Amino acid sequence: MLAKSITCGLDGVHGYLVEVEAYISNGFIGFEIVGLPSAAVKESRDRVRAAMLNSGFEFPFGRVTVNLAPADVRKEGTSYELAVAAALISAKSPRPLLHLKDTALLGELSLEGKLLPIRGALGMAITAVESGIRKLVLPRENANEVACIDGLEVYAAESLRQVVRHLTGEETLPQQPSISFESLQTSRSIRHDMKDVKGQALARAALEVAAAGGHNLLMVGVPGSGKTMLARCLPGILPPLSYGEALETTLIHSASGELEAESTLMTQRPFRSPHHNISMAAMIGGGSKAKPGEVSLAHNGVLFLDELPEFQRPTLEALRQPIEDGFVNITRVNGTNRYPSSCMLVAGMNPCPCGNYGSKRKNCTCSANEIKRYLGRISGPLLDRLDIQVEMDAVTVEEIETSAVQEDSATIRKRVIRARQRQLKRYAGTSIYCNAQLDQQGLEKWCKMEPAAKQLLMQAVERFDISMRAYARIRKVALTIADLNDRDLITVQDIAKAIQFRNVDGRYWK
C-alpha cells in the first residue's frame, strides 16, 4: 500500500518542495523515515503515531517506510509531520484522501493531534505557488502570514482530524480571506517621534539626510545627548516598505522564528539593536543551521549598534562586507546560504571611556593613552563605511525649556519620500534604489558637481587627508542633500554640508 502527499522544507530563508511517500508492507513491525532526515525529523515518528491514535485513526500494522524526496537534501524542522500523517492515513484507508495531489500540507503535530505553528511558512508558500501548487493547508497561526500571496488558496486548520475530513470531502475548511498589502499599510504607527527631540539641529539634519539616501551614520556624543533616541526615531522617517521589500523582510523573520503568531506581512521597517556582547555568528549569521544574523534581520531597516567600541573587534570587522555588498554568504559543509543584508548601519558611541571628552560642560578624566586605546577599537576601514559622522553634546535644561516646537516625523518623512522618489526615477532600470548604493561608475554618471563645488571638495581632500572611499561617500551624501533640495546639480553648499558631516573622523581619529 503506497500513498503520497506534498509538503515543503526550508533551506535558509527559501523553501523547496518535498514529496512524501508512505509505504506499508508485511514484515517486522517498524516505522522508518528515510530521505536524509535530521534528528528532529526522526523524532517526529513518535509524534505522528501519537497524533494519529489520539485523533481516532488507526496506525498501520506492519513495516512502515516514509520517504522524503528529494533524498539527497537534508530535511530539517517539523513542518513535514502533517503531510506524513496524511500520507499514512491515505495508505491505510480503503478510501484514499482526495486532494493530496494538488494540496501542500504544512504543520507540526502535537501528541493529541493539534496543529502547531511552524517557522518559514512564507518561504514555503512562495515555493508551493512557484511549483504550481494552488492549495495550502497549514496551522491557523501561520495563515495570515501567507494570505498576501496571489494565486494561492489558504486553508487554516487546528487539528489533524480537521485536515483529514477536508481532504476526504466530508467537510470544507474555511478559506483564509486574502489580505491586500495596501490594507496593511494604512495602520502605520510612529513610536518615537522627532518632535520629541530637543535641540541637536546638526544631528537632526544628519538623520534626515541619512534616511533620504540610505546612508550609514555615526553619532559621537556624551552620555545623555540623545544618540539612542535619535536612532530610534529613524524608522519613523524612512519611506514605507514596498510589497517586494515587505516580502523579503517577512521571509527572513519568518525563517528565523521571529514572527509572532497570526502575524501578517511586515509593514514597518525593522529596527535591530543587539547588545555589545553579541557573538560574530549571531551578528553575521551562522550556527549549525546557518541561521540569519542581526545584519540580515535588519534588512530593509536599521541596524543600531550602541556603544560601538564595546563590541568585539572581530564582530565589527565582519560587518564590513555585508554592509558594503548588501548580502552575506554563510558556508557550511552541506552548502552555502546567501542572506540579504541591505540595511542602514547606525552607530552611537561616547568620545572616551568616561564619556566627557570634548564636552563643554564636564571635564574628561581620561588620559590621552586611554582615549587613544578606546578610539582605536574602531578601525579605519569601518569608519570609512560610515558615510555621515556627527558630534553631539548634551542639551541643557535651559535649551530644552526655551527650544521652539520641532518638526514631527511625518513632516520630515514627506521630504525623505520625495528625495527617494527622485532617486528611484534617476536609477530606473538598474538595481540601485538609493544614493548610498552608487558604485564608482554610478558616481561618474549621476553625481554631477558645479566647478566651484568640485574645487572645494578637492581642497578638503588635501587639507583633511580624506581617503578615496571617504571621498566617494562625501559625493554620495552631497547628492542626497541636493535631492532633498530638489536639485540635479551638486552645489558648493551641498559639498560644504557633506564635509561638515565628516568632521568627527578628523577630530578624533587623525
Q: What is the DSSP string of 474-486?
A: HHHHHHHHHHHTT
Mean pLDDT of 176-204: 83
Write out pLDDT tens, residues 102-156: 899 999 999 999 999 999 999 999 999 999 999 999 999 999 999 999 999 999 9
Coil, helix or strand at residue 396: coil
Write out pLDDT tens, residues 362-400: 889 999 999 999 999 999 889 989 999 999 988 776 666
| Three-class HEC string of 125-172 | HHHHHHCCCCEEEEEHHHHHHHCCCCCCEEEEECEHHHHHHHHHCCCC
Mean pLDDT of 314-320: 95
Q: Is the pLDDT of residue 285 over 70?
A: yes
Q: Is the pLDDT of residue 356 over 80?
A: yes
One-letter amino acid at 164 equals: V
Mean pLDDT of 242-260: 94
CB 3 within 8 A of CB 96: yes
How far apart, in whole angstroms, are the C-alpha atoms of residue 495 and residue 471? Answer: 11
The ranges of the chain annotated as CATH 3.30.230.10 are 2-168
How far apart, in whole angstroms, are the C-alpha atoms of residue 510 and residue 504? Answer: 10
Coil, helix or strand at residue 280: helix
Write out pLDDT tens, residues 252-271: 999 999 998 888 899 999 99
Q: What are phi and psi of 279, to 5 degrees?
A: -80, 165
> Contacts for 43-47 with beta carbons within 8 Å, 24 or more apart?
44/78, 44/80, 44/81, 44/84, 44/109, 47/78, 47/81, 47/108, 47/109, 47/110, 47/111
How far apart, in whole angstroms, are the C-alpha atoms of residue 337 and residue 89? Answer: 35
The confidence band for 410, taking pLDDT boundaries of 50, 70 and 90, is: very high
The ranges of the chain annotated as CATH 3.40.50.300 are 194-508
Q: What would the grid cell of residue 447 be?
A: 553625481
pLDDT of residue 507: 67
Mean pLDDT of 446-455: 94
pLDDT of residue 398: 67
The confidence band for 359, taking pLDDT boundaries of 50, 70 and 90, is: confident
pLDDT of residue 401: 64
pLDDT of residue 187: 58
Tell me which architecture the domain covering 194-508 has in CATH. Answer: 3-Layer(aba) Sandwich (3.40)
- CATH class for the region spanning 2-168: alpha beta
Instruction: Indicate whether this model's pTM tops 0.95.
Output: no
The confidence band for 5, taking pLDDT boundaries of 50, 70 and 90, is: very high
Q: Where are the alpha helices (DSSP H) in 379-408?
A: 380-384, 397-402
pLDDT of residue 182: 83
Q: What would the grid cell of residue 60 be?
A: 498501520
Q: Is the pLDDT of residue 197 over 90?
A: no
Length reported for the chain: 510
Between the alpha carbon of residue 292 and those of residues 45, 122, 155, 376, the distances in Å are 29, 16, 29, 29
How far apart, in whole angstroms, are the C-alpha atoms of residue 165 and residue 153? Answer: 17
